[in-house]
Amino acid sequence: VFLFSTIVTGGITLEKIFQAVGRMRATMVSMIAGFVTNIVLDPLLIFGIGPFPRMEIAGAALATGIGQVITLLVYIIYYVLDPLPVKLRRNYLRPEGEICGKTYGIGIPATLNMALPSLLISALNGILAAYSGAYVLVLGVYYKLQTFIYLPSNGIIQGIRPLIGYNYGAGERKRVEQIYRLTLELTAGIMAIGTALCW
């Protein structure tokens, strides 16, 4: 999975750029393409079904990496076919101390938020692999099902970011509060249903 870290970083960067300009449909399609690819390839590469080699845990990691590649490719296709108002240029990539400091101040908590679940899954995979590759597959299937429950809430949260940003910038504090309350109610309802289904 670490070998695909550059691709993952590129995908996340494009995800945030698309979100910043309000292209949420591109983000949704890209994420779904990656998830579906990962779900399809997991059993094929873990158990070696058909022409695919039996790779067990390494197969699960490779399936995840390929899913990230697909996500990045879909973003690039969207970027080429429907150019964004924000252009990516090399001369804009020079680091500036003040901007880097603010970025790390926001990014470090977000990084920990993303890293800790991955560490948990890695630890569980390591424990289950000592018994059987089938246990790892079961955990992977459960995690994917859990992700499908989580995706609607995550999509709503991603979707409100530009709305809150635009309205906050326009000084519409009441509208920001309304968006926040509605989002909280929707996500709480979705997660409550997911908890009941997985109980």
**Residue % of the chain over a pLDDT of 90:** 27
* Pick from 63-67, 96-100, 114-118: least confident: 114-118
Domain boundaries, given as residue ranges, for the chain: 1-107, 131-199
Q: Residues 133-158: pLDDT tens digits?
A: 788 888 877 777 777 778 888 888 87
Q: Residues 38-74: pLDDT tens digits?
A: 999 999 999 988 888 889 888 888 999 999 999 999 9
Q: Which phi-psi region, left, alpha or beta, contains residue 76 (left: φ > 0; alpha: ψ -120 to 50)? A: alpha
pTM recorded for the entire structure: 0.57
pLDDT at 98: 86
Q: How far apart are CA 194 and CA 199, in angstroms?
A: 8
What is the sign of the dihedral through the CA atoms of 97, 16, 187 and 195?
negative
- Please report which confidence band the pLDDT of residue 30 belongs to, taking 50, 70 and 90 as the band edges: very high
Q: How far apart are CA 26 and CA 78, in angstroms?
A: 7
H-run or E-run covering 110:
helix 97-129
CA 110 to chain centre: 12
Q: Residues 156-193: pLDDT tens digits?
A: 887 888 888 888 888 889 999 999 999 999 999 988 98
Is 1's pLDDT higher than 70?
no
